[in-house]
């Protein structure tokens, strides 16, 4: 069977096929990449199909659910307890986490430091990665959530693993400035735009803001940051970089930052065109 796919549910707004097709072209390859959506209760039944691929990517809600079906984990996946990239060799599946690579390369590109007071909004799979990496980089971490019990569970795990203190707050109770705010929630994602996960005054007092959402290009959170003159970055760079690192794993490829910058611009332009067509 071969080929490459993205598994998740739902996948209607995914730009992964366009990104990976461009990356294949940069490599001089003609591989196929397609969306493979299925409901959560069908994951186990799809594993034989997945073992027949050359590799695949994973998004919500399978980044942790896939773990029992993998044959091995790279250190990156073991560290964060979540997988977004799988390499398949002779039917054996090895899980990796390239979300972190995409995140750190985006922070570096914008000059955003994690050695500051960091607020991570959300405690799901990607929020967990952001929180763990922030602490590993020396952050003073606050986890902001709707469900305090979920945030407290993540805070306890991080405290026990890394020997640090982690604060937990509800999203609407935040009232202090942070050096960096990171949104790991789906609040503001298309088509439910116009809302922010954080109070506007908290955003306005931040040193910088990163939203992992890439559609829309500028979420309400980022709009609030822009209006307040706060440096910000959206999720497209992270999305493209984590895809590029998947190709590094699959094929040993290397991409220049300038190539990734051009691909980010191309994908943002594609988003703008789609938005214009929807408004027409």
- Positions marked catalytic: 63
Cα separation, 181 vs 196, in Å, equals 12
C-beta of residue 55 within 8 angstroms of C-beta of residue 101? no
Q: Which two tokens stand for residue 21?
A: 């097709």
Closest-CA residue to 263 (of 232, 233, 241)? 241
Residues with Cβ within 8 Å of 169's Cβ and at least 6 positions away in sequence, in order, are: 142, 143, 144, 145, 151
DSSP annotation string for 68-87: GG-SEE-HHHHHHT--SEEE
Count CA atoms closer than 13 A to 54's CA, side-chain side: 13
Closest-CA residue to 114 (of 204, 178, 35)? 178
Cα separation, 241 vs 245, in Å, equals 6
């Amino acid at each position: 069977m071969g080929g490459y796919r993205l598994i998740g549910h739902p996948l209607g707004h995914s730009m992964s096929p366009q990104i990976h097709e461009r990356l294949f072209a940069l490599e001089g390859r003609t591989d196929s990449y397609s969306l493979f959506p299925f409901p959560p209760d069908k994951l186990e039944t799809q594993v034989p199909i997945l073992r027949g691929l050359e590799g695949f990517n994973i998004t919500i809600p399978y980044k942790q659910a896939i773990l029992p079906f993998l044959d091995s984990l790279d250190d990156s996946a073991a560290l964060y307890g979540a997988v977004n990239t799988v390499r398949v060799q002779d039917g054996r599946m090895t899980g990796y986490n390239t979300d972190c690579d995409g995140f750190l390369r985006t922070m570096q590109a914008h000059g955003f430091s994690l050695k500051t007071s960091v607020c991570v909004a959300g405690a799901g799979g990607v929020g967990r990665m952001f929180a763990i990496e922030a602490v590993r980089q020396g952050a003073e971490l606050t986890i902001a959530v709707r469900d305090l019990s979920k945030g407290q569970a993540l805070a306890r795990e991080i405290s026990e693993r890394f020997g640090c203190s982690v604060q937990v707050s509800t999203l609407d109770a935040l009232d202090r400035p942070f050096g960096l705010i990171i949104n790991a929630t789906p609040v503001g994602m298309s088509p439910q735009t116009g809302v922010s996960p954080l109070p506007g005054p908290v955003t306005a007092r931040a040193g910088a803001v990163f939203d992992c959402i890439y559609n829309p290009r500028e979420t309400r959170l980022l709009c609030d940051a822009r209006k307040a003159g706060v440096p910000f970055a959206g999720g497209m760079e992270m999305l493209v970089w984590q895809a590029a690192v998947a190709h590094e794993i699959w094929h040993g490829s290397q991409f220049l930052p300038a190539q990734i910058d051009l691909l980010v611009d191309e994908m943002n332009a594609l988003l703008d065109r789609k938005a214009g067509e929807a408004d027409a």
